[in-house]
Amino acid sequence: MREYSLTMIEVQVRETIGCTPDELLAFVMDIERYAEVDKKINPVTWTRRDGDVVEFECRPKVAGIPQPKVVQRLRLTPGERVDISLSPLPRNRFQHTIAKFEASFACAPVDGGTEVTRTLRFTFPAWIRWMMEPVLRRRLPAEVRDEIARAKAHLESPTPR
């Protein structure tokens, strides 16, 4: 993909959640549990963990658009953040041709819990941006706000985490 022909969509949501950064990041790294609040990655079909790296396959639905199966990688920086990307080639050949995907959860302790900054970033080549960009700009911000609201409700619920 040529850099000059790319368009980027970025959605960022900040929220204070009544838990520690480690509790929030552990919830995200338990991707099958996290998929209960993140409808975009549901269903998760398999997951593998090796230390601070989780790789998982899901059949995403982003902005209401069903996607082909994709394998994503989560990388934990303990106490600070989780970075998410498509697993490298040879996995995700099709997805790598239509978009670059990056996402993260960045955490900082604050009074009352943890401030989390949830970011999703898609970069599209010109040949597909005409279709993807308007839909994502219209629908993705609400999806991410709803995801974080569900994560907050889950983590702040009186039932054990």
What is the model's pLDDT at position 94? 79
> Within a domain: residue 28?
no
Domain assignment of residue 88, given as a range? 41-110+117-161
> Within a domain: residue 50?
yes
pTM of the complete model: 0.90
> Within a domain: residue 142?
yes
What is the model's pLDDT at position 6? 58
What is the band of 17 on the pLDDT scale with cuts at 50, 70, 90? very high
Query: What is the three-class DSSP state of 59?
Result: coil
> Within a domain: residue 1?
no
Of 100 and 30, more confident: 30
- The number of folded domains in the chain is 1
> Within a domain: residue 83?
yes
pLDDT, one tens digit per residue, over 75-124 is 999 999 999 999 887 787 778 788 899 999 999 999 999 999 999 999 98
